[in-house]
Every structure is written in structure tokens, then in C-alpha cells.
Structure 1
Amino acid sequence: MADGAGGLRPLLPRLVVAVALCAARSSAESGAPTVESLVRRAIDAAGRLDDYTCTSTKQEKVDGKMLPEETFVLKQRKQPDCLYLKWVVEPYKNRETIYCPARYGDKIRVHEGSGVAGWFGTLSVDPEGMLARRNNRHSIREAGIFHLLKVVGERFELARGDSEHAIGQRTSIEADVHGEPSYCFSFDEEATKTEICLHRTLCLPTRVKTFDGSGAVIETYTWAHYHLSVGLTDRDFDVGNPAYGF
């Protein structure tokens, strides 16, 4: 990652333009934007990003049990696609994970921060194997905002074709998501409902929450404290990085 403000200066004009475009479109509309406008802007905003860092949380119901919330720092680069995660709160504090197929093939590099599992050092794990998928509703291949917004775009196109629901012309709802000013909307399906919240100026995800048919929450994910197009390098996805604990 670029160190200090000097490394970020060449990227700032591009970032300022991206934020200004999104903010201008928001202010030009009366009230909250339509779902169609919001989805288009989010996909456009993600398309302009090379990489980002943020603080993210996840909480999922697995095998009928709601698991503790997890909080981690997330770094993601678009090309080549790489992820770094470091858990910063118990129960998995100091766990680190890198998924970077261009560097390590289709394997997750992971080490636990404490406990007996930490004695084994850095492991190379199949992303679809039992160890990686234990207590996880989704694969690490689905982590980060780039995959999320791709899926949101696909689901929107499917829902938009349903004239009965006319989702594109619905108005989003203003919300505050853990201090992040957001617009929210939902996709309603037979068995589930998914609420999606996007930052009002960045147009990037702040929360996704899925409910089952009874209205009970089955998964919640949040993203906050974004730093955009910071210039992540191969070093940010290297188990040999001295700043990491691998």
C-alpha cells in the first residue's frame, strides 16, 4: 500500500471526480434517488475503482445458529483480483487471510491469531473445502464489493423485467448505517428479502442484510471507512510482508 499522502496525490484527482459525480447526481435529484439510478451509479463507481481498503463486518446464521459478529480490515485489488483480511476484534482477533490466485493459485493463505490453531502457522486452504467453508455461508471468492455489485446488477436486471414489481422506479430510503449516510432498497423474493444500502456520496455498499421468509435476519455485512484507489501493490497480498503476522 502507498505510504503517506505523497503516494496518494496522483490518485486524488480521479477520486475527487468520482465522488463529485456521485454527489452531484444525488443533489440533482429531488429527495432519495430511484433504485435504478442508485444501482447504475454504484456499478459505475465500482468500475472506476482500482482498489480500496475499508473496515468490514459479517454476521451469519449457519445451521440454524446466529454466529458472533466478525470485524476485519479488508483490502481488495481489482486486477489482478486479490484480497487481504485481518480480523481486529475477538473471537478471531489477529487472524489474517490472503486470497490472491495470481500469486498463490486457487488457495487461501491463512493463519490464526491465537489458540491451538495458531500453532500450525500459515496454512494453504481450498476455498471450497470444509475448513474454509466452516461457519461461512459464502465462499471467499464472493468477498468484497466488486463481486457484490456485480450480483446486485444482475439481480436488478432480473427484477426490472418483472413489470408487476417495477423495482427500478421505486424510491430508495435514506438511512444512517453506523454513521455512514446511505440510501437503502430491497430485493423481495419468495423465500428471502435482501436489503442493500449504498453510501450517499461514494455510491458504494455500506450494508447488506438478508431476511428469511419469516422476517428473521440470516446474514448481515457492513463496510465503512473506505479509502479508495490507494495504490495497493503485490506487497499488500504477500505473506512475506513484514507488517503481517504470517
Structure 2
Amino acid sequence: MKRDYLLAVPLVAVLFIPASTRLIADEILASANTADRVSSPRLSDEEASLRLSPDSLIPETKKLTAHQQELKRLVKQAQASLDRCRQQVQDYTCTFLAQERVDGRLGPTKRCQAKVRHTYPEDENDDVSTNIYIKFQSPKSIHGREVLWDSHANDGRMLVRKGGKVLGFMTAMIEPASMLAMQGNRYPIHEFGIRRLLERLVDVGNAELSVEHVLVQSRPNVEINGRKCQYFEVVHPVRQEHLPFHIAKVYVDNELRLPILFEAFDWPEGESEDPVLMERYLYCDLKLNVGLTDADFDKSNPEYQFH
């Protein structure tokens, strides 16, 4: 799959992350104490026939219209959440968990503490200023790694303390999209966060409205990590090379009205196998508008270990 896969909420770029190929796919949710998770869908005989026969058509036009109407509702809700995020959410803190497949290999679950602040300019034509601080807790190979990024400072570079047991004290300014920074990651740091996730959902959702074979379902009150969520699932039963995913799942917190879990799957390698996890991002303990200050994004903060 392409690295510019549109529906993702990306993990921050970091240094020297080893790949891992033998991890349980549900580790990220188990470690977050997730309950009552919605399982991967089992397609009906009719839907399965679409996957096996790309040239066939959904026989019931009325059914296709219903799915597209549900997709329109999803896009409308994503746009409303994005508007809320832009107008009412200045900053937030969270525990962030992510698992990604890079170059065909599923990496380990990464867990970190994150602080994010957006400063919106008076002139709508000016860029939003974004500050991000991240400290990794696991895996052990990057424990203690810290990342600090200001979108309007240091020519866009990020400050990274390597962490881990080997030369963990090393600190350097890194280009977010450089080969070193992207090692083991699908996306650079400027793609990190809930606001970027919502922007992607809106853009891709609008594009999905023109896709002929798309199946959409939603469920209320699905519990994720103790939070009640509305669940949306988009499935492409017909495999086509230009489509970025087979299944995408979005869980929107009912109280916060923001997505807290996103999952994307590629098509299974065999018809009897399960879909292949591409990426999974989970926001836990999400706290909005906590009043983050410049000190939270200052490398000299005594709670940080930049050198």
C-alpha cells in the first residue's frame, strides 16, 4: 500500500525504530483495556461475490443508494466534528497508541504521552500554528524518546531525543520527512493529531461518494476503552488498485464528538484469511482545552530531557 494513504491519523516520525513481524494484531487495544470491540465484518454471499467478481454489479440499486446515504451522513458528521475541533479545541493531552505496517511488515505497538496545541491566526489566509510534544513509553527500544515540534519554528524541523538503552541521550534536529525520521513510520509529524484525522476523513469521504462498490454500516454505543462511541465502517468488497483500503473503521466518542479510534485494513491475502491490518490509532484519556502554555513546548522544560 502507498505511504500517502489518505485515511490515517499518523504516528510521529522518530529515530531508529526496529521493525517487528510477530505481534498480535489486537495488542494495541488489549493494552488500552478496550472492551466490546466490533470485529472485522463477515461479508454476505452477495457481497463476497462482488469481491470475487470485480466486473459484477450490485443488483439492487436501492441498496447502493442506502449505503451512499449512510456515507454522506458519515462525511457530514466528520465535517461537524472538524468544525468543532477548529472552533472549540485549542489544545489537548492524551495517551496515544499506534500500530503500523511499513514496507509490508507490521511493527510493534507504540505508546506515548502527547500534548498538542493549535493557535489559529486572526487572518484566515495565514497558516495554523501547531505545537506537538510526545514522549514514548514503549516499546523498550524507544522508551524515553521525546519529540518536540513547532510548525512555525526551526525551518519545520523537529527536536528528537533518541531514547532507548543505546545512546538514549542523543538529541538532534531532524527533518520530519527525511529517510532517518521516516524509518519505521508511515507518516511525518505534521500529519499527527485529531484535527488532521478529521480533515482526511472529510476529504476521503467525499471522494468515496463516487466509488461504485462501497458498503457502509454504523452502530451506536460501541464501547471503546470505557467510552461510548458511534461506530462507522466503510468496506470496499471489490478489490481495485486505486482504492486505498479494503476496510476502514472509525469510532467517534459520543460525549467528545471526536474520533478516538481509527483502523484500516488491506484485502486478505487469501479468500479464507482475515483482512490485513495496515494501521490502527487509539486516543486514550483524551482531555480537551487543558490550558497548555509555551512552557509545555519549550525544550528547556525541567520535565523534559533534551540536551
Q: Does TM-score exceed 0.5, indicating one fold?
A: yes
For residues 74 and 171 of structure 1, do their structure 2 counterparts lie closer, same or farther at Cα, with a shift above 3 Å needed?
same
Q: Tell me which residue corresponds to 1:183.
A: 230
Residue identity opposite 1:235 in structure 2: A
Question: Contact (CA 8 Å) 1:208, 1:220: kept in 2 or not?
Answer: yes
- Decide which of 101, 105, 119 is 2:151's aligned counterpart: 101
Aligned counterparts, 1:139-178, within 5 A: 139-161=188-210, 165=214, 171-178=218-225
Q: Secondary structure at the match of 2:153?
A: helix
Instruction: Give 1 or 2: higher helix fraction.
Output: 1
Q: Please name the residue that 1:31 is paired with.
A: none
* Corresponding residue number in structure 1 for 2:293: 233
In the alignment, is the contact (CA less than 8 A) between 1:52 and 1:76 conserved in 2?
yes
State how far apart, in whole Å, the 1-side matches of 2:209 and 2:176 are: 33
Q: Distance in 2 between matches of 1:142 and 1:224?
A: 19
SS of aligned partner of 1:132:
helix
Give the deviation of 1:173 after TM superposition: 4.5
1:160/1:166 contact within 8 Å kept: no
Distance in 2 of aligned mates of 1:227 and 1:218: 27
Whether 1:210 aligns to 2:264 is yes
Deviations 1:148-177 (A, max 9, x none): 11111112222235587596xx54453222
- Residue 16 of structure 1 corresponds to none
**Structure 2 unaligned regions, length at least 5:** 1-72, 120-128, 269-274
Q: Does 1:60 align with 2:92?
A: no
| 1:200 match | 254
Change (3 A) 1:217 1:116: same
Measured on the aligned residues, the alpha-carbon RMSD in Å equals 2.2
User: In the alignment, which residue of structure 1 is the partner of 2:78?
Assistant: 39
CA gap 1:171/1:220 in 2 versus in 1, 3 angstroms: closer
Change (3 A) 1:36 1:133: closer
Partner of 1:76: 116
For residue 19 of structure 1, what is the aligned residue in structure 2?
Answer: none
In the alignment, residue 236 of structure 1 is paired with which amino acid?
D
Distance 2:79 2:178 in 1: 35
Secondary structure, aligned partner of 1:118:
coil
TM-score (norm 1): 0.78
Q: Is the 8 A contact 2:101 2:278 kept in 1?
A: yes
Matched residue SS, 2:181: helix
- What is the match of residue 14 of structure 2? none
Q: What runs of 5+ residues in structure 1 fail to find an aligned partner?
A: 1-33
Give the Cα–Cα distance (whole angstroms) in 2 for the partners of residues 114 and 171 of structure 1: 41
| 8 Å Cα contact 2:92/2:290 also seen in 1 | yes
How far apart, CA to CA, are the structure 1 residues paired with 2:108 and 2:214? Answer: 35
Q: Secondary structure at the match of 1:235?
A: helix
Tell me the CA shift for residue 139 of structure 1. Answer: 1.3
Quick check: which has more Rg, 1 or 2? 2
Question: Structure 2: how far apart are the matches of 1:64 and 1:234?
Answer: 39
Deviation at 1:61, TM superposition (A): 1.3
Q: Equivalents in 2 of 1:164, 1:194: separation in Å?
A: 14
Q: Which amino acid aligns with 1:181?
A: K
For residues 63 and 131 of structure 1, what CA distance do their matches in structure 2 show?
15
Q: Is the 8 A contact 1:82 1:100 kept in 2?
A: yes
Alpha-carbon shift at residue 117 of structure 1 (Å): 3.5
Q: What TM-score, normalized to structure 2? A: 0.63
Kept in 2: contact 1:45–1:202 (CA 8 A) = no
